[in-house]
Amino acid sequence: MDDVTLVSVGDFPNRIEAEVAQSALEAAGIESSVSADDAGGLQPGLWMSGVKLLVRETDAVRALEILNSSNR
């Protein structure tokens, strides 16, 4: 992603759930990034505060709408 402000649109218990949500955003044309302190996925037990899904600040409202509608 470009040098822009990123915001979290979700906290997930693991990388897999975050990547499923990321694919929903990708299908809608929204770029996102998964952020987890887990040694690049090599040690999933290292994360302490969940796995975050980040989007551009300008895409946050639309991303939250998509994620909330897919959770129903």
Which pLDDT tens digit goes with each residue over 28-64? Answer: 999 999 998 765 555 555 555 578 999 999 999 999 9
Question: Structure pTM?
Answer: 0.79
Please give the class, per CATH, of domain 6-70. Answer: alpha beta
CA distance 14 to 29: 23
- pLDDT at position 46 is 54
Upper half-sphere CA count for residue 63 (Cβ side, 13 Å): 23
Residue 22 has pLDDT above 90, yes or no: yes
Residue with the bigger pLDDT between 54 and 13: it is 54
Q: If you average pLDDT over every residue of the chain, what do you get?
A: 84
What are the two backbone dihedrals, phi and then psi, of residue 48, each rounded to the nearest 5 degrees?
A: -115, -25
Residue 6 has pLDDT above 70, yes or no: yes
The domain locations on the chain are 6-70
- Maximum pairwise Cα distance, the chain: 33
**51, 15 Cβ separation under 8 angstroms:** yes
How far CA 57 is from CA of 17, 22, 28, 44, 49, in Å, comes to: 21, 15, 16, 27, 21
